[in-house]
Structure 1
Amino acid sequence: MKIEEEIKQTAFRNEYHKAYINLLYTSNFLQQEHGSMLKPFGITSPQFNVLRILRGQYPKPATVSLLIERMLDKTSNASRIVDKLEAKELVTRKQCPNDRRTVDVLITEKGLDLLKQLDALDNDNKSGGIYNLTEDETRELNRMLDKIRD
């Protein structure tokens, strides 16, 4: 559905304004879909992001500062997210043996198993509407989004 129909607005200042509104709307749409997919598993999008970062580091631990650096949402409170994941036994936290001021965060087997389930679900559902694009269109979209951030 076109952005004009989605937000019931027929006029925009120009195509740049329309594209900007379209990006914001689509971003929120994708975030809501992603949140709905994660809800039955009892985790949020920022928690999922932290788990993915830790899986990428595995078997090496990560520090909270590394998590903050690599998170998609820079406004998230990584320490609080790690607290919640630790309470769910999806990560462990230990004081770094080399630097007592630093805490090492490591994904658990339970966390790795959860990510495997979510990977399978994503592969089965082809969620997020992104699969409505061809591979070439997706490549072009990635190029344009990178250009916007440059």
Structure 2
Amino acid sequence: MNIETAIKSIHQMGITTKTVINIMYTSRFVEDAVSSVLKPYDLTSQQYNVLRILRGQNGNPANLCTIQERMIDKSSNTTRLVDKLIQKDWAKRSICKTNRRKVEIVITETGLELLKELDPLIEKNNENLVSNLSEEQMEAFNSILDSIRTT
């Protein structure tokens, strides 16, 4: 379905506006699909992103700044997200032994187990989302998206 039909537009859009609206609309479509996988686990996409960042630390602690830098959604309140993960026992926070002003966050074993359970579900969801694209199309699409962010 083209973007004009999807948003029921009756006005002619220029190609630049159409492209940006299409990216925004498709982004929400993908976010909704991911959220539907995470919802039964009482997990938001932002919390999931933090857990993946922490897992990527390979057991090394991360600080709030590191997490914020790597977040997909830069407007997220990282402190609040980490607090929620700690409440659910998916992460833990401690004070750095060498610098008491520094807070260190690590993923817990429970958080790792959750991601292990979610990994195949998210992968299947992702495969479904792009199932009508060839590998070559996905490579080209990724290159185009990367180009947008380098302007």
| TM-score, length of structure 2 as denominator length | 0.94
Partner deviation per Cα, 1:23-43 (whole Å, 9 max, x = no partner): 110011111111111000111
How many Å apart are 1:80 and its aligned residue?
A: 0.5
- Equivalence for 2:41: 41
Amino acid at match of 2:117: Q
- The count of residues paired between Structure 1 and Structure 2 equals 150
- Equivalence for 1:65: 65
SS of the residue 2:106 aligns to: strand
Partner deviation per Cα, 1:68-120 (whole Å, 9 max, x = no partner): 11101110000110000000000011101111001110001110111111111
- Equivalence for 2:55: 55
How many Å apart are 1:122 and its aligned residue?
A: 2.2
| TM-score, length of structure 1 as denominator length | 0.94
Which region of structure 1 is more displaced relative to structure 2, 2-11 or 72-81? 2-11
- Equivalence for 2:141: 141
How many Å apart are 1:127 and its aligned residue?
A: 4.9
- Equivalence for 1:31: 31
Going from structure 1 to structure 2, the CA distance change for 1:74 and 1:125 (only over 3 Å counts) comes to closer
1:116 aligns with 2:95: no
- Equivalence for 2:81: 81
Q: Which runs of 5+ in 2 are unaligned?
A: none
Amino acid at match of 2:106: L
Within 5 Å, give how 1:2-17 maps onto structure 2. Answer: 2-17=2-17
Q: Which runs of 5+ in 1 are unaligned?
A: none
Contact 1:58 1:106 in 2 (8 A): no
Amino acid at match of 1:44: T
Q: Distance in 2 between matches of 1:126 and 1:146?
A: 19
Amino acid at match of 1:140: A
